[in-house]
Amino acid sequence: MINMGNATLEIFDETQAQTIDQIEAEKRSSGQIRFALQVPDLKAAMERLLAHGARLVHPPVITPWGDYNVRLQDPDGMQITLFQAHDQD
């Protein structure tokens, strides 16, 4: 088990999913379900997931709302967004 922090369940319609994918991955790439995990240290969490078999979908970006996000994909194909809230340093 890897304890990564708080999670959110994101339920989007196609338009919302396309917008989020464009911000985080520069193209429509996620499936119907994606996890978003808030982490205190995005770089450390990203490195842990990569070390456990995740694949980088897109390097970290700063979102329009100020969070630091990175998109990864687990070995089974599930896309995961890690985000560090803008008020965390």
- Per residue in 30-83, pLDDT tens? 766 778 889 999 999 999 999 999 999 999 999 998 999 999 999 988 888 999
Is 89 contained in some domain? no
SS3 53: coil
Is 1 contained in some domain? no
Is 45 contained in some domain? yes
**Contact between residue 53 and residue 41 where contact means Cβ atoms under 8 Å apart:** no
**Contact between residue 57 and residue 51 where contact means Cβ atoms under 8 Å apart:** no
SS3 41: coil
Structural domain boundaries, residue 43: 6-23+32-84
How many structural domains does the chain have? 1
Is 12 contained in some domain? yes
Is 47 contained in some domain? yes
Is 11 contained in some domain? yes
Confidence at residue 22, expressed as pLDDT on a 0 to 100 scale:
84
Confidence at residue 1, expressed as pLDDT on a 0 to 100 scale:
46
The CATH number covering residue 57 comes to 3.10.180.10
